[in-house]
Structure 1
Amino acid sequence: MSPIAKPRLLITRFAVDALRLAKLLDEQGTFALAQPLLAVQKSAEFADAMHIFAKKYDYIIAVSRNAVDYADRALAGKSWPIAIYLAVGKRTAEKLCTVTEQKVIIPHGQFDSEGLLALPCLALPQGKRVLIVRGVGGRELLAERLTARGAIIEYYQPYQRVVINLSAKLVVEQWQQQRINGAIVGSLELLERLTELLPSEESLWLKKMTIYAPSKRITDHAIRLGWSNVEVLPGMSDKQIVDYFK
């Protein structure tokens, strides 16, 4: 990567993750400002864990680390059921392996729903019962494709994302004072929130930033929203991001 200007980054992840990554980037010489745009909290389905996990599933798929965290909290010390476990990404898989004490399968290289769907074990799931553990309102692609392949799908959604109320005027002033010229955005939802947050008169300044995202799906959407500078990150782990900006 050879950017015109040295990156000065906005980290839009959830609070703990944003602060940790910003510190790591700062330590290796890349300015980073933690600016969470969304928070997570229990959903109305949180209390349904015992009922959901009492059922028999062939496959249990965790879409995010938050999904694993909240599901494990909801189980309150009860064991996760025996099943074939899958996770979308490495960090989610590590957490899932810890709480279930079982092997977890992950995609090969492409850490998203498409990568998961390419796994041989999900090629012919005819008649298999699949539980997808995720946040409220996640992507439907995984369920739609597996249903088309004959799987029987259920969801458990123990958490939800909520908007953090921010003063657009104050955050814009802070970002401009810090000469922010790029934003790390891990989801379409965060990209939409970033777009909605700033007043229209600041949109031209905002769209001059470079959007760094873990998938072409997100960068393509950024282009549709008016950004011209986009880069696809090799992944969203702290190490992958820190190494990318070295």
Structure 2
Amino acid sequence: MLLFTRPLPKLASSAKAFDAAGLDAVGAATCDIVYVKSERNAISTFLAETRVDVIIVTSVYAVDAAEDAVQSLIEKAVPNSSLPLIIAVGDATAKKLHHALCAIPQQISPLVILTPEIHTSEGILAMPLLNEAKGKQVVIIKGEGGRQLIADGLTAKGASCQSFCVYRTEQLTDPIYTKCWKVEDVRGIIATSEAMAMQLIHSQGHAILSLPWLTVSERIAVSLRKRGVTEVFVCHRATDQALIAWVKDNWEY
């Protein structure tokens, strides 16, 4: 059996994906997502007063706010004007953005949505198109308490960055699981964020440290090793499909 972490809003869909792939897996939600409406409104106000070159969307949970922001830009745009470049941190975020923004008026220049080669903050900063960030106005749509690496890195390159924290994660009192399970049945753990990994360790104790772990960045892997996990692997894509493919290619299930 596999044990994987997801925030509560994504738990059911991920469990369905693992089940459809023929993998015996139990999902664990250690946190929920709470949206911050005031920050979403603040984005539209900022865009009404400021010309923006790049919008960076760091999570699927930031997509709705990004959609509102882009729609407000489209409404005030003149024919043949250009829209900001949009960078999505990963495939799932990009796919949701494409779906949300597919109805773009023909008189507006096409919307460009790009993803980095490695789906992390480090991957975004490594994108060649951001090497010449000096003088660029960048809006970062993210979660409350998230990393400041993108803003700090782009500011160091001479960009002007404005971050909007449109959601926050709230730790659940007890994890919610998709089905009953026992630690002795688990043969591998998939952790898609450092916070959820640490919450899972806190709830389950040292019993799960000896199991093989799969995570989505070397940064999280380093953190897990420091906590005592001896066998950690990295898949640089956080989608259900990428994780399932990695497991089928590398673990015997």
Tell me if TM exceeds 0.5. yes
Change (3 A) 1:234 1:156: closer
SS of the residue aligned with 2:185? coil
* Counterparts of 1:234 and 1:48, CA distance in 2: 32
Give the TM-score normalised by structure 1: 0.83
Query: How far off its partner does 1:180 sit?
Result: 2.1
Decide whether the 8 Å contact of 1:30 with 1:245 is kept in 2: no
1:66 aligns with 2:68: no
Identity among equivalent positions (%) equals 28
Query: How far off its partner does 1:36 sit?
Result: 0.8
Question: Which of 208, 216, 227 matches 2:218?
Answer: 216
Matching residue's letter, 1:150: G
Q: Residue 193 of structure 1 corresponds to which residue in structure 2?
A: 199
Q: 1:69-126 deviations in whole A, cap 9, x for unaligned?
A: 2443x66964567211111111111222333442201112x11112111222100111
Q: Residue 204 of structure 1 corresponds to which residue in structure 2?
A: 206
Q: Residue 167 of structure 2 corresponds to which residue in structure 1?
A: 159
Q: Residue 229 of structure 2 corresponds to which residue in structure 1?
A: 227
SS of the residue aligned with 1:145? helix
Change (3 A) 1:245 1:48: same
Query: How far off its partner does 1:226 sit?
Result: 1.1
1:238 aligns with 2:240: yes
Query: How far off its partner does 1:66 sit?
Result: 0.6
Decide whether the 8 Å contact of 1:68 with 1:95 is kept in 2: yes
Question: Which of 35, 39, 42 matches 1:45?
Answer: 39
> How many residues end up aligned between the 2 structures?
230
**Cα RMSD after superposing both structures:** 2.5
- 1:169-188 matches, cutoff 5 A: 174-176=180-182, 179-188=185-194
Q: Residue 88 of structure 1 corresponds to which residue in structure 2?
A: 89
Query: How far off its partner does 1:130 sit?
Result: 0.5
1:18 aligns with 2:20: no
* Counterparts of 2:142 and 2:45, CA distance in 1: 16
Query: How far off its partner does 1:26 sit?
Result: 2.4
Query: How far off its partner does 1:210 sit?
Result: 2.1
* Counterparts of 1:64 and 1:13, CA distance in 2: 13
Matching residue's letter, 1:53: L
Decide whether the 8 Å contact of 2:214 with 2:233 is kept in 1: yes
Decide whether the 8 Å contact of 2:90 with 2:237 is kept in 1: no
Query: How far off its partner does 1:39 sit?
Result: 0.7
* Counterparts of 1:21 and 1:178, CA distance in 2: 22
